[in-house]
A and B are shown apart, each in its own frame.
Chain A
Amino acid sequence: MYAQMVKTDAARVRSLDEMDPVERAFQERVDAGQKIEPKEWMPEGYRKTLVRQISQHAHSEIVGQLPEGNWISRAPTLERKAILLAKVQDEAGHGLYLYCAAETLGISRDQMYEQLHSGKAKYSSIFNYPTLTWADIGAIGWLVDGAAIMNQVPLQRCSYGPYARAMVRICKEESFHQRQGYDALMCMVKGTPAQKAMVQDALNRWWWPSLMMFGPSDDASVHSAQSMAWKIKQNSNDELRQKFVDQTVPQAKYLGLTVPDPDLKWNEEKGGHDFGEPDWEEFFNVIAGNGPCNAERLEARKKAWNDGAWFRDGLTAHAEKAADRRAAAKIAAE
């Protein structure tokens, strides 16, 4: 889940009877499964929540380029290098669609960058973990993209049209990302003992942070309830986490790996796995900026932005000059 703990400004979810006619008409359309489009009336809280969620999602794609980009120059074969480049490029593309989707809600990309750089806007906790070996690249595809898909498939049915549509294309690409990650790991576990050990080590480090991607239990959260009422969110964090564990455990087994959770076992009665609780203290620390790579990730993004200021200014200046020249030529011609 690339958007975690998104606030809604709601104190509680109001019933239809408590709404004025305009808001009630909006809610009834949402309830009926209709899409809300940019120029239509929407409650301010709905708009703000979407801006928070979509920008957080976009920032996650952009910051997410860094841990994987870290291994492009060290990819072990030309084919793996090409696949990884294509994947990171897709992520930049996802960032672009998502910033565009957020822009339909009245915020500019530059404003969103400003919020990211100042620390006001968050991005997914997962990208604050380091990629230490090549197996981490496979593990990110398998686990991180796998968890993202869990969240993003239902988002294709989100009530806000531009976000839902962006998600359709993104989901297709994410599914390729997950497969390539699993494929890279499959190749390694069939390889030498050192390669297999590398994969197990990656699973040991990425398992719990992947479960944390869904966020803490939100059964009692008013923000989640409001987001669900607005159909921005479709499932609870625990539901998605359970689904992810149930999907992933057999895949780990197929790879011949051990999931690093002593409490993990199949529960016949519920038809799903029982599993341990992630370390939420660690999660809140990472969210608060104390993860292993928070400072580096943000610094890298700020540096790219600041170092590139002359480039962006240069292009803007050229566009203005070109426009002036066209205008002058037009006057001369008249």
Chain B
Amino acid sequence: MATAALETAVDQAALLEFLLRIGDNALILGHRVSEWCGHSPALEEDIALANTALDLIGQTQLWLGLAGEVEGKGRSADDLAYLRDGYDFRNILLVERPNGDFGKTLMRQFLFDAWHYLLLKALKGSTETRIAEIAEKAFKEVSYHLDRSRDLVIRLGDGTAESHRRMQEALDDLWPYTGEMFAADAVDAALVEAGIIPEPQSLKAGWDEIVAEALAEGTLKKSADGYMHKGGRRGVHTEHLGFILSEMQFLQRAYPGATW
């Protein structure tokens, strides 16, 4: 049934592209978050971050697994994660930003979670059953991610002068990477047309609202909307992605064909 649904008239190349975008976001952010394991400022944070990373890796398995099916060349989620080079990755630049201090990690998470939450909420109503099913599961997890990251952004924004300064700095540094979440191209247009995904711009108002409320409560000042960096969604990344991949893919590259 599910396979039949995927064999409709929808542009399969566009569908694949979308699945790589959403799957790579989860993979790369999951990787970044997992870098904190054992190094975070409080034991409770180690546990919570590992949980977030675990959810994101689980979502990666589902999205990239489906991407492999849609592609129809027999590639598994692992093949896609471990055997593509940077130019084939489709994640937005925001998720590959280095962790920085814990404040920057939390701010990146919040800015992403607010968007991810709205995207998944919309995808639950996708005309593509398999996408709707994955979104249903991921939405529950991401609702919790957003509760947590929003709460911490508020508390640290309205904490000490030092925590406020760090959160404001994190926000200003990351802001230019938020525009890419709402960018649209021909891939999006084809899938929006088929009712598979929401119009990217349609998420902007909701995102603005979630972000503005949290920033206000956390006494943080919204950054000025200036130049927005883009490129990840079409495979043009920052220098950071190559290092993530060389670490992540080391064993698969060093021992080709081995089973782990």
Contacts and interface: CB of A to CB of B under 8 A. Distances in A.
A314 B34 contact: no
A25 interface: no
Contacts of B81: 78
B53 A304 contact: no
Majority secondary structure of chain A interface residues (helix, strand, loop or mixed): helix
B163 A317 contact: yes
Interface in A270-325: 300, 303-305, 307-319, 321
Nearest to A71: B251
20 contacts: A72-B35, A73-B31, A73-B247, A74-B250, A76-B251, A82-B61, A88-B50, A190-B259, A191-B260, A194-B255, A194-B258, A310-B162, A311-B42, A311-B102, A311-B103, A311-B156, A314-B156, A314-B159, A314-B162, A318-B154
Interface in B51-91: 51, 53-54, 57-58, 60-61, 64, 77-78, 81-82
Which one of A73, A95, A309 has the greatest number of beta carbons of chain B within 10 Å? A73
A130 interface: no
A73 B54 contact: no
B247 to A, nearest CB: 5
B43 A195 contact: no
A294 to B, nearest CB: 16
Contacts of B101: 307
A85 B61 CA distance: 15
Given A85-B57, A307-B41, A311-B45, 9 more contacts: A65-B38, A73-B34, A76-B258, A89-B54, A134-B260, A308-B41, A314-B159, A314-B160, A318-B159
Q: Which 3 A-B pairs have the closest CB atoms?
A: A308-B41, A314-B163, A314-B159
Contacts of B166: 310
Contacts of A143: none
A179 interface: no
Contacts of A78: 27, 57, 60-61, 64, 77-78, 81
Contact of B54 (A82, A310, A314, A317): A82
Contacts of A99: 43
Contacts of B54: 82, 85-86, 89
Contact of B160 (A88, A191, A307, A317): A317
B227 to A, nearest CB: 30
Contacts of B37: 65, 69, 72, 85, 88-89
B228 interface: no
A111 interface: no
A326 to B, nearest CB: 14
Which one of A109, A191, A311, A317 has the greatest number of beta carbons of chain B within 10 Å? A311
A299 to B, nearest CB: 11
Contact of B39 (A81, A190, A303, A314): A303
Interface string A187-231: 110111011000000000000000000000000000000000000
Interface in A28-84: 62, 65-66, 69, 72-82
Contacts of B50: 85-86, 88-89, 92
A134 B160 contact: no
A184 interface: yes
B234 interface: no
